[in-house]
Amino acid sequence: MDEEQLIPHADELEWLETNSFLVESEGEDDLPFIAEEIRQDDGDLPFSAALPRPHESQVSRKRSWSEEDEGSENIGEIIKREESGNKRRALDFLEREQDEDWLRYSPPQKKAPAVHIASESDVLMVEPPVKEKILSRFAVEIEGDCVPVTGPYGDRVYAKMKSSKTDIEGPKKQRKEHLKYGLLSEPIGIIIKKLDHEAFAKAFEENDCLSCHQTHSEVPTFSEKLWVEKYAPCSFTELLSDEQTNREVLLWLKQWDSSVFGSQVRSTTDDVLSALRRHSSPVQHKRFSGGETFFEQGRAAPFTRQSLKSWNADKHIENVNGFSESWSKKATVDHPLEQKINASDDRSSLTLESKILDAVQIASVTADSKPKCLVIDEIDGALGEGKGAVEVILKLVVADKKAKVEKPNSTQQSLSEFSSRRGKNSATLLRPVICICNDLYAPALRPLRQIARVHMFVQPTISRVVNSFAECDIRSCLNTLQFLNKKKETLNILEVGSQVVGHKDISRSCIDIWNKIFQNGKSNRAKSSTTNLNGHGDFEFMYSLLSNRGDYDLTMGGIHENFLRLSYIDPMMIKTVTCLDMLGVSDSLHQYIMRTQQMSLNAFQPPFAIAIKRLIALVDKPNIEWPKSIQRYRAMSLERKDLLKNWQSKISPIISRHLSTEYFAEDFVSHFLHILVPPTLRPIALHLFSEREKDDLAQLVDTMVSYSITYKNSKAEPLKGAHNNGTAKDVSILILDPPIGDFINFKDYQPTHLELSLAMKQVLLHEVEKQRILRENSGRSLNPGNECNKDSQDSTITKLEVLHDIITKSASVKGNDKPRLAMLKLENEDNHKNLNSKSKKIVSNTSVTAEVTGDLKKPSRPISFFDRFRQGCNIDSKNHVSNLQKAATAERDSRPFLFKYNEGFTNAVKRSVKIRDLLL
Amino acid sequence: MLWVDKYRPRVLDKITVHEEIAQNLKKLVSEQDCPHLLFYGPPGSGKKTMVMALLKEMFGASAEKVKLEQKAWKIDAGTRTIELELAMLASTHHVELNPSDAGFQDRYIVQEIIKEMAKNRPIDSKGKKGFKVLVLNEVDKLSKEAQHSLRRTMEKYSSSCRLILCCNSSSRVTEAVRSRCLNVRLNAPSAEQIIEVLELIAKKESLQLPPGFAARLAAQSNRSLRRAILSFETCRVQQYPFTVNQAIPPLDWEQYVSEICSDIMKEQSPKRLFQVRGKIYELLVNCIPPEIILKKLLSELLKKLDSELKHEVCHWAAYYEHRMRLGQKAIFHIEAFVAKFMSIYKAFLIATFG
């Protein structure tokens, strides 16, 4: 048995020996070879076999090293190792595929694992204590788990799966390590990525080859390059945009030649050239920019640029503004560009500045001999946040201009001096700068517009864009075409129309949208005639239009506001009903979305608008108005509610708690206005009233006070009126305060309640004031909290006397106004502050109170004040009044009087009133 | 003071309209504790009057000493702090407020205020901690979230405070809240009850009130007691010795609605609808609730309508009112109703008169 086994085994060994030499000799370039193999394999089978490869190569490397170390003598040892490796592999069913792969690319070793199993018994015999338990022909002999292994001649042995042997431990540890990384040395994601890159690069190359050879373009999937880039025009002649603009831009660019190439040669002095030569750039422009960097280093670089900016400094920056539609070849126009900066990506001004400077000042490192033309794309985007971009550019340009201005002055100066000054201006502009933007009139572009030459790129005409369908935007056209091509479908109009992908996000203004909804106008028709769109396409168009706008609340508001103004034919109001139904559903949907925050439901909003369009759109242009009425309604009702709230806070809570807004508006206000204006109230003197009338009046006044409503002069500025000595014209209009009458003042509505006469209002106003003061006093005297201690009372008494004197005095001054009614008010109030605030509260159109407060605020001039007082006393007509008042104050323990002087109050009956009568 | 407020019963004993309920409440309070209460009923049925009388019954005269507070709330709601100001009436024993004034932030208010009330409870004479009462008006206008937050706080702080909720319709109060309260329905007073009250007032004011006139007042008041009293006083001011056929001045907005109705009946076209819209806006601006407008509009239209259309029109009114409650812009829905009516009416006219 053993011998039988030995014979083939010896052969095998021999063969293996040679083979091992082979492996050994290949040792150095073994690894690269494998790697290459892998790569090729990957190209064919990118996913199935590729995954565990690096590990495999590592293993094989280990193997070869070990063979090198131990030489070829101890083949058994090698075999053992091989075997252990193989065993391990056998265990990992995951790696089976890898095994096969490995077997495939290294056929000489294919036999080894198979063979050594046969030789195993031999090895076992050589080293019985070590190998005893590892392999056996009988599974029973092996402790623990085992696995059956079959040799090439059908021999079957069982191999132990685990062993504590040291030489097996190594790979085991290794495996553990691998397990940590998921069996691989590198994470699988990275590997996949790498492979993808490789596959992509390969495919890309192939594609390039294809395009180079102009072979079949039917190979469809390889054109990974976007068509937009692939078919971007390479020369000016290919451009689609307006010829004239193209030529102008070209001309402008040509104008730079003098400054970039020509003049420099002329103006650069020899020493500079020699200095520059050290930078050893073969091309002229490169030398020039080398000079720039050199210059930056602060070394004396005395070159002048006499004619550098001579041609036109104002054309220095050119705004290539194509603001009509994006990508009307704006970016493609400038093709000899080498540095392109997308300003909207590099938001911060700092990075932008450094980029610009880099682009302008540093030469292109590549050997092609073109100077740099700086193109800044999406400059309007740069302004949104950074705002710095324009400033940077401006700074550059302005610096140049300054330099130009300085130049004549500095001609006499030495060149070095000049250069040192220039050295501070680190940023100079020697290159054309092209800015591209969508919106020329973006506010932040304003400064740039002044210094730049503006080219406008209009939408390419339809004749020029042959294949245009996506809103004349070439880029989206191309993208759509490519997308369709991918699907390998024949192009028909309907499908093109139904492509949502082709449409870029076009947002229009609201007015545009309303116009589109209400008008089946020419623009739509023209479009549908050119592209043969049917209703379906129209729907798509409207849908994208509306959903791009998004603000459905406003959109629907605008529709609601305007649709009734259209003169659509609707005899039975059916269309109108449907429209309003649509609006209603849209409204409740909107509310639902807002409440539940399920914004995705907004997708169902546009169809409402489209349905409305189907119903009522007309051919002629509608007269759209911005929807104001809902806003107005909200603002007004808020205003009204505020008014009510304020009023409520003035009314005592016992009443106001019942006075909710709804109750007020529904029930209260109409009746209240009626009650406020009793028709029985005659405009006569109060004392002529009958008892019943007096009762009525008293009740009315009571009501007005408790609901804190009064009349006020609608011509504001009562103080001013008082200073004009209270001319009667100011009193002409008295309105309710707060103006609750507004609540029923509907448009085209004649309120049912009456209006009181002016005189009556004045009587009421006066009575209400009187009543209110009385009530406040009684309320205060009842209120125990307001009492203050004696000493402060004393001080206030003197002050109050003074106050009282002023009152008398000012009354006398105003004597020529013939006050018809003088009211003296007993003031229980001890606290000076309270009095002061009270006197402010008293009807403010009396100049007396105004003066009182005014004078009290200025106690610093008491002398003149008393002078006036004496003067006032001299006027005899009022003498007795003040005397009497003084007596009264003495009598009443210095309880002060408040004199209230009503101006402009007319009463038909005159009657002399004694102050005494008024004192209770 | 107006009669409405002047003759408002201040104690439970004096309440005449819902006498039985008042007596029951009195018994409830006499047991020193009472559950949460939910009063509901149509406007003008005396809910607030009942609540105030109840408070007085609970706490005595001190419940009437209320003051208006503009309280600024600072509520910490997780990630942000909400600041809002809310007016409320407060006495030592109770707090009264309109949580729906807080708009969509009402639920924070509801929770916060109850917590705050639980913190400073008044201590009664025996040194025991009493409970405070929180009166929430217009609970049906509270958002669902606020009502849900209410039910939790209601249970948590039930030892320290009692809630009295007032609303017009209990159907818009969640079941959870309703089940935690003792529901008290105050129905609209009947015409007889209104006449009774009017006569009482007339007696106190020593006026001669002809019974026929009182009946007319009651009929026109739409079973709202306060409206009846208000119009009674208006009539008193207009013309005193009452006559039976004395004109009762109409409410201005109702007058305006009936003008709108006659506009609608005269012409049915989009143009006319546009005019109507302007007028409805006028009403809305002046704080007339849109539901009320729609209701009045319907009742005015029904007056002038052929009976065979009435059912259909009512149906559509209900339909659009439902829509209106779902939506946000009331004008859309009122206008839709008007348009629908116009359409129906026009079709009817053409069918009838050719």
- By C-alpha distance, the chain A residue nearest B48 is A658
> Is A584–B332 a contact, with Cβ atoms under 8 angstroms apart?
yes
**Any CB–CB contact under 8 A between B148 and chain A?**
no
CB A756, CB A764: distance < 8 Å: yes
Task: Characterise A84 by phi-psi region: left (phi > 0), alpha (psi -120 to 50), beta (else).
Answer: alpha
> Is B281–A629 a contact, with Cβ atoms under 8 angstroms apart?
yes
Tokens of B201: 């007032």
Q: Which residue has the higher pLDDT, A365 or B144?
A: B144
- Per-chain mean pLDDT for chain A: 60
Cα–Cα dist A695/B157, whole Å? 52
pLDDT at position B347: 92
Cross-strand bridge partners of residue A826? A897
Quick one: A764 exposed, middle or buried, by C-beta within 10 A (0-12, 13-18, 19+)?
buried
pLDDT at position A260: 60
* Section B33-58 average pLDDT: 87
* Section B209-226 average pLDDT: 88
Among A118-132, A221-235, B70-84, the range with the most confident prediction by mean pLDDT is B70-84
Cβ-based contacts of A743 with chain B (< 8 Å) = 286-287
**Interface with chain A: mutation pick from B269, B329, B333, highest number of A CBs within 10 Å:** B329
Cα–Cα dist A779/A705, whole Å? 13
Quick one: B184 exposed, middle or buried, by C-beta within 10 A (0-12, 13-18, 19+)?
buried
Alpha-carbon distance B350 to nearest alpha carbon in chain A (angstroms): 10
DSSP string, A903-914: -S---SS-----
Confidence band (pLDDT; 50, 70, 90) for A811? very low
Of A661, A703, A742, nearest to B2 by CB-CB distance is A703
**Upstream peptide bond of A113 is cis (omega within 30 degrees of 0):** no
Cα–Cα dist A736/A739, whole Å? 5
Q: Which residue has the higher pLDDT, A624 or A394?
A: A624
Quick one: A146 exposed, middle or buried, by C-beta within 10 A (0-12, 13-18, 19+)?
buried
Quick one: B211 exposed, middle or buried, by C-beta within 10 A (0-12, 13-18, 19+)?
exposed
Cα–Cα dist A837/A829, whole Å? 11
pLDDT at position A763: 82
Cβ-based contacts of B347 with chain A (< 8 Å) = 572
Residue B242, SS3?
A: coil
Give how far Cα A243 sits from Cα of A327, A337, A377, A463, A464, Å: 16, 20, 21, 14, 11
CB A481, CB A220: distance < 8 Å: no
Of B256, B268, B329, nearest to A749 by CB-CB distance is B256
Cα–Cα dist B315/B347, whole Å? 17
> Is B286–A560 a contact, with Cβ atoms under 8 angstroms apart?
no
Q: Give the number of beta-carbon pairs within 8 Å between A and B.
A: 210
Cβ-based contacts of B233 with chain A (< 8 Å) = 671, 675
Cα–Cα dist A47/A787, whole Å? 96
CA angle A255, A257, A258 (to 5 degrees): 85
pLDDT at position B323: 92
H helix and E strand count, chain A: 41, 12
- By C-alpha distance, the chain B residue nearest A709 is B1
pLDDT at position A30: 44
* Section A303-312 average pLDDT: 31
- Sheet containing A317-321: which strands, arranged edge to edge? A339-342, A374-377, A433-437, A317-321, A452-456
Q: Which residue has the higher pLDDT, A168 or A389?
A: A389
Confidence band (pLDDT; 50, 70, 90) for A103? very low
Q: Where are the domains of chain A?
A: 2-186, 236-456, 505-627, 633-768, 786-918
CA angle A491, A493, A496 (to 5 degrees): 70
Backbone φ, ψ for residue B38 (5° rounding): -130, 115
Cβ-based contacts of A670 with chain B (< 8 Å) = 249-253
Alpha-carbon distance B195 to nearest alpha carbon in chain A (angstroms): 18
Alpha-carbon distance B238 to nearest alpha carbon in chain A (angstroms): 6
Torsion of CA B171, B174, B175, B181, to 10 degrees: -90
Cα–Cα dist A850/A287, whole Å? 86
CA atoms within 13 A on the CB side of A854: 12
- By C-alpha distance, the chain B residue nearest A648 is B68
Cα–Cα dist A516/A613, whole Å? 8
Of B2, B339, B347, nearest to A580 by CB-CB distance is B339
Backbone φ, ψ for residue A861 (5° rounding): -125, 65
> Is B68–A746 a contact, with Cβ atoms under 8 angstroms apart?
no
Q: What type of residue is A202?
A: K
pLDDT at position A67: 44
> Is A574–B343 a contact, with Cβ atoms under 8 angstroms apart?
yes
Of A574, A577, A649, nearest to B87 by CB-CB distance is A649
Q: Which of A277-286, A472-481, A588-597, A607-616 has the lowest mean pLDDT?
A: A277-286
Quick one: A236 exposed, middle or buried, by C-beta within 10 A (0-12, 13-18, 19+)?
middle
Contacting A residues, span 104-143, partner chain B, CB-CB under 8 Å: none
Architecture per CATH, domain A236-456, reads as: 3-Layer(aba) Sandwich (3.40)
Please provide the CATH number assigned to the domain covering A505-627.
Answer: 1.20.272.10
What is residue A664's DSSP assignment?
I
What is residue A207's DSSP assignment?
H
Q: What type of residue is A660?
A: S
Alpha-carbon distance B345 to nearest alpha carbon in chain A (angstroms): 9
- By C-alpha distance, the chain B residue nearest A693 is B237
Cα–Cα dist A801/A34, whole Å? 116
Quick one: B74 exposed, middle or buried, by C-beta within 10 A (0-12, 13-18, 19+)?
exposed
- Sheet containing B161-167: which strands, arranged edge to edge? B67-77, B80-90, B94-97, B132-136, B161-167, B37-40, B182-185
> Is B287–A678 a contact, with Cβ atoms under 8 angstroms apart?
no
- Asked whether residue B334 carries a pLDDT value surpassing 80, the answer given is yes
- Asked whether residue A469 carries a pLDDT value surpassing 80, the answer given is no
- By C-alpha distance, the chain A residue nearest B47 is A658
Tokens of B86: 């809310």
At A618, which helix (H) or strand (E)?
A: none
Cβ-based contacts of B281 with chain A (< 8 Å) = 629, 632-633
Contacting B residues, span 221-250, partner chain A, CB-CB under 8 Å: 224, 226-227, 230-231, 233-234, 237-240, 249-250
**Interface with chain B: mutation pick from A552, A595, A654, highest number of B CBs within 10 Å:** A654
Confidence band (pLDDT; 50, 70, 90) for B319? very high
* Section B205-209 average pLDDT: 87
- By C-alpha distance, the chain B residue nearest A707 is B1
Of B252, B287, B328, nearest to A641 by CB-CB distance is B287
Same fold, A236-456 and A505-627: no
Cα–Cα dist A735/A738, whole Å? 8
Among A374-388, A455-469, A693-707, B326-340, the range with the most confident prediction by mean pLDDT is B326-340
Contacting B residues, span 163-192, partner chain A, CB-CB under 8 Å: none
CB A640, CB A631: distance < 8 Å: no
CB A457, CB A329: distance < 8 Å: yes
Backbone φ, ψ for residue B172 (5° rounding): -100, 10
Q: Single out the residue of A752, A751, A746 nearest to residue B283, CA to CA.
A: A746
Q: Which residue has the higher pLDDT, A399 or A343?
A: A399
- By C-alpha distance, the chain A residue nearest B229 is A671
Tokens of A718: 């009562």
